[in-house]
Structure 1
Amino acid sequence: MSKIASPAAQDSPAAAPAGAGLIDPALLAHLRKTVAAVTRPWWQGEVVSANGLIFGVNLGGSRPPLVWCFQGYAEFAALAAALGPDQPLYGLRSGHLVVKPGAKTHLHMAMICAEELLSLGLSGPLFLGGNCQGALLAQKIAQILTAADHPVALLICLNPFLITPYGGRAAFILGRHDTTNPLHRFHDAEALLRERLPLCSLDTIPSEHGSLFSGKILDLWSAILRRRIEAVAGTSPGAGPLWSLCAELAAPAQLVMPARGLCEVPVTLRNSTDQLWAPSRESGLTLGNHWRAPDGSLLQWLDGQQPFTQPLPPGGTFETTLLVRAPEREGEYLLEIDLQQAGVLWLSELGSAPTICRVTVLPPVGGAAG
């Protein structure tokens, strides 16, 4: 079992009293005991973790395992039923209404849960999520695991009421009519979300607070949850695991465009994997582009988008045109063409070099640039 080490006493100039450092052993013990007291007598499922704080159901399912931070057992049972017997689900209890809230408690709860997760010995990508306060706990767990060299493939946050920074891949699902929705509670919250969670997808559902785990709302967001996991795990139709995604792109090395003009750029895409790519509507794979200054600094992230309508077999090529809009002012630019999987990532984020076209932008046809 991997361990997340606390600071060693000998690393400090002088021995500190118990509980005075970053990690408080007494608080850890108290939280373990408190959470166990409200889960073990009531929660159903197989107790699977080292200290008995994580319960598992549908463990024989073939889908990638999902770990979720719940507010109570009723939510655990409801999500397990909605996802079905083929979805292994590991549930743990957030500290909501159980432990005294606060930053120190939050950190120690996350430390406990992170070690419990490591004790499971799960193989393959880790999918971790939670709802409400459980979403915030899941995010802190993900940060701890990542810092300890146990990266999380996808963090799923259902109705978190805060937007806190996270550099990994994330999927937010927010209730459109929920009073705790951060998009409703803060100015420019969506821009803040993009800034603090740069690799985050965003889905909204027509839910109110407290209505997430029953009826059509549960069916709706659990389907979104499954789709987001499948996209990253590579189990969606015609999409291999993203970390094995490989493609070759070709486009003209030099182009000339009028300012603000719409231009068709010829692009050839080759599937360099040994897996069939389904059409864009199923796989989410599309061509797109970014605009950069000659020094590589970003000017515009999203511009053109071009799907492919037919399956692309291993080694197969797809020739098309990508419709882009030139920058507003004349000058020299870099047109960066890349492959994306919608809501998940761009191929270049896996370390593959995008195709770069050097573009000379001339004054607009019929007048000077404004």
Structure 2
Amino acid sequence: MDAFRRWAHIPEKMFDVDLHQDEQVEFEGVLSLIRNMRDQSSVNKALSHDELLVFNRFGEKKPIFWCFNNWAEPYLFAYQLDENQPLIAAQSPHGVEKSWVKKARYTEPLAKRYLESATQLFNRQDFIYCGNCQGAPVVESMCIQLSRQCGIFPQLITIDYIAKRRYQGPILMLFGSESPFNPFNYERDPLPYWKKRLKSFQWKHLHGPHGTYLKEPTIVLLKEIVSAHI
């Protein structure tokens, strides 16, 4: 199974951000689970806001919004940052919803929810948007929603994701050198796919297999890559 098939559950066309009543009830349960998991991992140095976790809220640098796959990851990344670098952490559907169909369906409403919460807290939307693995489609959706609603095209940085949603702003795709989600590890050339869909894209490789990028030593390089776009 190549990298494209691994992301087959994410359609190229975005879902409606609004849910039907029965879907909304289930989605509220997902949000509740995200908050509970967040609160179980929370410590005093971070601020809880809706489903988000915020580090260095009053830092002077442009905030980083990152959709992680669990609540341990933001603490690992925040440890690499100075006190002037705000970090807004969110949770992807990973570990929250088992159904791949529902994970895809919740992408847009989850992105909308996170965008509204972060905007309310910081009174701005021009963050650096990052997401690893299942968090990547969420921040991709956030950037597309911003571009459609406000004409804003923020920097998007994804890890082990092939960028399926035709975001027309700047995007940097990072792939693990040993990752099964790295399209360059298969025969199919991803460049024609991206050239037809994306306007401004770059890619880089990170050392190591999938799921290890927020651990040393790769996390140091990852922090430098993200910081270079602030």
Please give the TM-score of this superposition, normalised by the length of structure 2. 0.81
| Shift in Å, 1:31 | 2.3
State the Cα deviation string for residues 207-265 of structure 1 (Å, max 9, x = none).
Answer: 211211111211112111111x23xxxxxxxxxxxxxxxxxxxxxxxxxxxxxxxxxxx
Where does residue 167 of structure 1 map in the other structure? 168
Aligned partner of 2:21: which letter? A
* Separation (CA, whole Å) in 2 of partners of 1:71 and 1:84: 23
- Count of aligned pairs between the two proteins: 210
Where does residue 21 of structure 2 map in the other structure? 18
| Shift in Å, 1:57 | 0.7
| Shift in Å, 1:71 | 0.8
How do 1:172-321 and structure 2 match up within 5 A?
A: 172-185=173-186, 187-227=188-228, 229-230=229-230
Q: Does 1:101 align with 2:100?
A: yes
State the Cα deviation string for residues 95-146 of structure 1 (Å, max 9, x = none).
Answer: 1021133232223322322322232243372221111111111111222232
Structure 1 pair 124/53, CA: closer, same or farther in 2 (3 Å)? Answer: closer
**Greater RCO between the two (CA within 8 Å, min separation 6)?**
2
Q: Is the 8 A contact 1:163 1:182 kept in 2?
A: no
State the Cα deviation string for residues 290-337 of structure 1 (Å, max 9, x = none).
Answer: xxxxxxxxxxxxxxxxxxxxxxxxxxxxxxxxxxxxxxxxxxxxxxxx
Structure 1 pair 124/180, CA: closer, same or farther in 2 (3 Å)? Answer: closer
Q: Is the 8 A contact 2:18 2:109 kept in 1?
A: no
Gap runs ≥5 in structure 2: 1-16
Structure number having the greater strand percentage? 1
Match of 1:75 among 53, 73, 85: 73
State the Cα deviation string for residues 157-199 of structure 1 (Å, max 9, x = none).
Answer: 1222564421112111211221211332461212322332221
Where does residue 54 of structure 2 map in the other structure? 56
Structure 1 pair 18/81, CA: closer, same or farther in 2 (3 Å)? Answer: closer
User: SS where residue 140 of structure 1 aligns?
Assistant: helix
Where does residue 122 of structure 1 map in the other structure? 123
* Separation (CA, whole Å) in 2 of partners of 1:28 and 1:125: 27
* Separation (CA, whole Å) in 2 of partners of 1:152 and 1:83: 24
Structure 1 pair 190/207, CA: closer, same or farther in 2 (3 Å)? Answer: farther
Structure number having the greater helix percentage? 2
User: SS where residue 40 of structure 1 aligns?
Assistant: helix
Where does residue 65 of structure 1 map in the other structure? 63
Structure 1 pair 146/109, CA: closer, same or farther in 2 (3 Å)? Answer: same
Q: Is the 8 A contact 1:28 1:112 kept in 2?
A: no
Where does residue 88 of structure 2 map in the other structure? 90
Where does residue 41 of structure 2 map in the other structure? 42
* Separation (CA, whole Å) in 1 of partners of 2:145 and 2:187: 27
User: SS where residue 200 of structure 1 aligns?
Assistant: strand
Structure 1 pair 6/206, CA: closer, same or farther in 2 (3 Å)? Answer: closer
CA RMSD in angstroms, aligned pairs only? 2.4
User: SS where residue 117 of structure 2 aligns?
Assistant: helix
